[in-house]
Copies of this chain bind each other. A is one copy, B any other.
């Protein structure tokens, strides 16, 4: 035990040293054109100088220390390492009652007794229960260290059946049959078309959302486009010339790289549903993610086609190469004034977090319109034109608009409301989650905050008592450019739990630099499509006795 204690102290010292070296971990894993491939994760570890996540490493090592102290209780694993299991058997072990099993490569592990010791928290390990660890380790490169592999080896109970690798059959009559394979951590709201969000506990683990768990909002099947024959058609201005751009052509424009948060208009719709039924996918707090996007500026491409900003109002219409069985493509538009403004930084993006766009996110080219609702960031971009009117697509004119709570499907007049472009200020709590039990003493509350139109988040207020009293959260120190605050702020608050408190009603609300605030409650902003759900976010938790 003395030896073990010494090991723990040694690791603690390492951790403290590490803490003084800023080490932001972020991941550019599995972001290939084929989206996520669970069999071949490419783990990469990239540390930069931007943040203060040393504590995370320390947490991991503290956890490892605890495990080392625990290991003499555990010896079953190695003895049972010759047994063979099917994938199906593994997938049935997902709870403390059945045992919690995971796989790495061809090896099977019973981590039931390790779950509570997991340095990142039990909930994160539970995301992998019954399946492979690789997709999760791909997100969190901290696992890719020898001592973690050594630790895991102790829980080995056998091997996967080598004959159990059956290729999935492709149903060719299914328009979605060719959709890419997705990351298992995604919480799926709809399979066809595919719509999914990362779970809250992963969402704010990184300022940059890893590509495999970036929220996915598809309206149609994912097209499978050949980058060699891909062409982007830009309709020329009168007197200008139309362009047919290959990927190489696009790369020949000056390359710009910016960090932008995308949010679906329906983010947090599930809270509106609790007020009254709405039409739409049940997004929780995860229809929002942040990536570093690179590509050509739309203003440069439009200028080459002879377009310039005109006095009369005009719109830039985008058409996707995804289409429904009738051939109708996804479409949307933004005002020409935004498209032509170099300061608005609208991109024709071909890279996401340093990788070619994943198929689910628009390979090979999508529009990125910083500060604007996700619906205008058209994916699999095929055609760009300048029109006197907004796009006539369903999604521009008959969807993605806000209405009074008094308007229902019998009375709605879609022409009476403007299409959503900039979004209002937003924030949500990602930890703890609703219904969780937190330790007494001190509670750590984490979340995100963002606003549309490049407006910076200047403050997040957090309440433990349902909004009666407030504390100011600490904003992560990511740089925000004035008028170009395109990306979210992550925030956290460590707060003492009031003595004797058995429950907490945790609430957050953000303020942007136009001093816009979130509304207190959901009902007065309820609307029939369940968009623009940005009331205070509330979670109710229990305090451990």
Contact = CB atoms under 8 A, between A and B. Distances in A.
Given A417-B459, A482-B335, A509-B524, A515 B422 contact: yes
Given A421-B513, A458-B418, A514-B424, A404 B520 contact: no
A207 B170 CA distance: 65
A279 to B, nearest CB: 18
Interface residues of A, number: 42
Nearest to A468: B523
A50 interface: no
Given A422-B513, A453-B514, A405 B470 contact: yes
Interface in A490-517: 509, 511, 513-517
A424 to B, nearest CB: 4
B521 A520 contact: yes
A521 B536 CA distance: 12
B516 A404 contact: no
Given A313-B482, A337-B483, A472-B404, A517 B525 contact: yes
B404 A459 contact: yes
A520 B521 CA distance: 7
Interface in A49-107: none
A145 interface: no
A518 interface: yes
A355 B102 CA distance: 79
A532 interface: yes
A420 interface: yes
A340 to B, nearest CB: 12
Nearest to A526: B470
7 contacts: A337-B483, A406-B470, A406-B472, A407-B472, A422-B514, A467-B524, A517-B524
A461 B405 contact: yes
B423 A514 contact: yes
A514 B518 CA distance: 13
Interface string A413-442: 000011011111100000000000000000
A419 to B, nearest CB: 10
Interface in A440-474: 452-453, 458-459, 461, 467, 469-472
A454 B179 CA distance: 43
A461 B527 CA distance: 13
A7 B467 CA distance: 62
Contacts of A452: 514
A407 B514 CA distance: 19
Interface string A372-406: 00000000000000000000000000000010111
A519 interface: yes
Given A421-B513, A509-B524, 14 more contacts: A335-B482, A404-B461, A404-B470, A404-B471, A404-B472, A406-B470, A407-B472, A420-B515, A421-B514, A452-B514, A453-B514, A514-B516, A517-B524, A517-B525
Given A417-B459, A418-B458, A483-B337, A516 B513 contact: no
7 A-B pairs with least C-beta separation:
A520-B520, A422-B514, A424-B516, A516-B516, A406-B470, A424-B515, A404-B472
